[in-house]
Amino acid sequence: MVVLGVVSPQYILPLVPICKTQILPNSSETQYLTRRKAALIFTSSLVSSFIYTSHHSAIAFQVDEFQQDEDRIVQLFEETSPSVVFIKDLELAKGSNGSTTGLANDENAKVEGTGSGFIWDKFGHIVTNYHVIAKLATDQSGLQRCKVSLVNAKGESIAKEAKIVGVDPAYDLAVLKVDVEGDEVKPISVGTSRGLRVGQSCFAIGNPYGFENTLTTGVVSGLGREIPAPNGAAIKGAIQTDAAINAGRKTLFRGQNEQSQLNGC
């Protein structure tokens, strides 16, 4: 129902509609409003530009940071991998003379296992796991051999027969010696595991399943672990990592040219 008027005992009073009257501002008010509107538009544009620039700057920073991390890993691998060697555990066929030439080509030899190690010094000493060369260490037939493939300072791949210098089965360690006369090799830069913290990055370089120069990455997952040695003893103080370390063993690195642990698996 729409009410059009009010009924009075004597007469009817009509309802008069009230119209809004637009009051035009004077010239000074018009200028003020114009300036305020322009200021609002400029501020909005400035904020939008800042958000756009900040967003793209953040993306560019993330890309640059990722590239730096990637370059650092590439540099670590390129500088460190020449110090990591590939070890083959060989058994010569009966009647073989075990010549160096035949050994270099794996002729008349059965590959019984592979592993990794690292060059300790410029004289050709190599550190590896004892279980890699256990058959050679306990050989009584005279048919076991150990061949080491490495890279010299010129980047050339060479293969040498290695001799056992010393072993410590209780710590799953062995030291080999290859003749590097005439070849300059790159010893590893030895670091320390003191100060390691869980969560820090680490890198493993080795030859899993015979694939030479393989790199995997991960983090330090735990410290002070205990693992069994080949002779049944307990090796304490081991470093746990989630970096893939498959059959063939790898050498674990914490940072640029820092060797932290020889891994056995």
If you write DSSP's letter for every residue of 127-190 in order, what string do you get? Answer: EE-GGGSHHHHT--SS-EEEEEEEE-TTS-EEEEEEEEEEEEGGGTEEEEEE--TT-------B
In angstroms, rounded to a whole number, what is the distance separating the alpha carbons of residues 77 and 127?
19
Q: Does residue 57 sit in helix, strand or coil?
A: helix
**CB proximity list for 205: less than 8 A, separation 6 or greater:** 77, 80, 81, 84, 116, 213, 214, 215, 250, 251, 253
Asked if pLDDT for residue 175 goes beyond 90, the answer is yes
Residue with tokens 């899993």: 208
Q: Among candidates 172, 256, 246, which has minimal Cα distance to 214? A: 246
pLDDT per residue as tens digits for the range 188-214: 888 777 888 999 988 888 887 767 788
Asked if pLDDT for residue 128 goes beyond 50, the answer is yes
In angstroms, rounded to a whole number, what is the distance separating the alpha carbons of residues 147 and 90?
7
pLDDT in the model for residue 34: 61
CB 119 within 8 A of CB 187: yes
CB 136 within 8 A of CB 92: no
In angstroms, rounded to a whole number, what is the distance separating the alpha carbons of residues 140 and 149?
25
For the ranges 19-28, 62-71, 232-241, the one whose mean pLDDT is highest: 232-241
pLDDT band per the 50, 70, 90 thresholds, residue 110: confident
**CB proximity list for 177: less than 8 A, separation 6 or greater:** 123, 124, 125, 126, 162, 163, 164, 165
pLDDT per residue as tens digits for the range 147-167: 999 988 888 889 999 999 999
Residue 177, token pair as written in the block: 């010696």
In angstroms, rounded to a whole number, what is the distance separating the alpha carbons of residues 74 and 173?
29
pLDDT in the model for residue 187: 92
pLDDT in the model for residue 166: 95
Element (H, E) at 42: helix 27-80
In angstroms, rounded to a whole number, what is the distance separating the alpha carbons of residues 213 and 205?
6
Asked if pLDDT for residue 86 goes beyond 80, the answer is yes
Residue 126, token pair as written in the block: 């190599």
Q: 138-141 long-range contacts, Cβ below 8 Å, gap at least 24? A: none
Furthest CA-CA distance within the chain: 143
Percent of the chain predicted with pLDDT > 90: 20
pLDDT in the model for residue 161: 93
